[in-house]
Amino acid sequence: MNLIFLGPPGAGKGTQAEAIINEFKIPQVSTGDIIRAAIRTESDLGKEFKSYTDAGKLVPDELVNRMVEARLGEDDCKTGFLLDGFPRTVAQAEALDGMLDKMGRKLDHVLLLEVADEVLVERITGRRSDPDTGRVYHVTFDPPPADIAARLIQRSDDTEEVLTSRLAEYHGKTAPLIPYYEKAALLRRVDGVGSKDEIRARAFGILGR
Ligand code: AMP
Tens digit of each residue's pLDDT (9 = 90 or more) over 160-198: 999 999 999 999 999 999 999 999 999 999 999 999 999
| Annotated catalytic residue 188 | no
pTM beyond 0.75: yes
Is residue 8 lining ligand 1, measured as CB closer than 6 Å?
no
Cα-to-centroid distance, 84 and ligand 1 (Å):
10
Output the residue whose Cα is nearest ligand 1's atom 6.
32
Query: What is the reported pLDDT for 39?
Result: 97
Cβ–Cβ < 8 Å for 192, 114: yes
Q: Among 5, 53, 92, name the best residue to mutate to test ligand 1's pocket (greatest count of ligand atoms within 8 A of Cβ).
A: 53
Cβ–Cβ < 8 Å for 88, 81: no
Please count the CA atoms within 13 angstroms of the CA of 198 that sit on its side-chain side.
5
Query: What is the reported pLDDT for 77?
Result: 98
The CA distance from 183 to 110, in Å, is 12
Per-residue pLDDT reduced to its tens digit, 134-160:
999 999 999 999 999 999 999 999 999
| Annotated catalytic residue 166 | yes
Pick the atom of ligand 1 nearest to 68's CA. Answer: 19
Output the residue whose Cα is nearest ligand 1's atom 19.
86
Counting beta carbons within 10 angstroms of the beta carbon of residue 59, is it exposed (0 to 12), middle (13 to 18) or buried (19 or more)? buried
Query: What is the reported pLDDT for 206?
Result: 96
| Annotated catalytic residue 127 | yes
Which pairs from 147-156 meet CB under 8 Å and 24+ separation?
152/128, 153/128, 153/129, 154/127, 154/128, 154/129, 155/36, 155/127, 155/129, 156/53, 156/54
What is the share, in percent, of the chain residues with pLDDT greater than 70?
100
Angle between helical axes of 44-53 and 31-40 (0-180°, round to 10)? 120
Query: What is the reported pLDDT for 1?
Result: 96
Query: What is the reported pLDDT for 36?
Result: 95
Query: What is the reported pLDDT for 143?
Result: 96
Is residue 174 lining ligand 1, measured as CB closer than 6 Å?
no
H helices present in the chain, as ranges: 13-24, 31-40, 44-53, 61-72, 90-103, 117-125, 160-169, 177-183, 196-206
Query: What is the reported pLDDT for 35?
Result: 97
Cα-to-centroid distance, 81 and ligand 1 (Å):
18
Residue 157 CB contacts under 8 Å (≥ 6 apart), including other chains: 53, 54, 56, 163, 166
- Look up the CATH superfamily of 2-206: P-loop containing nucleotide triphosphate hydrolases (3.40.50.300)
| Annotated catalytic residue 13 | yes
| Annotated catalytic residue 151 | no
Per-residue pLDDT reduced to its tens digit, 100-128:
999 999 999 999 999 999 999 999 999 99
Per-residue pLDDT reduced to its tens digit, 32-66:
999 999 999 999 999 999 999 999 999 999 999 99
Query: What is the reported pLDDT for 168?
Result: 97
Query: What is the reported pLDDT for 75?
Result: 98
The CA distance from 72 to 70, in Å, is 6
Per the prediction, the chain carries an average pLDDT of 96
Q: Which of 57, 155, 188, 189 is catalytic?
A: 155
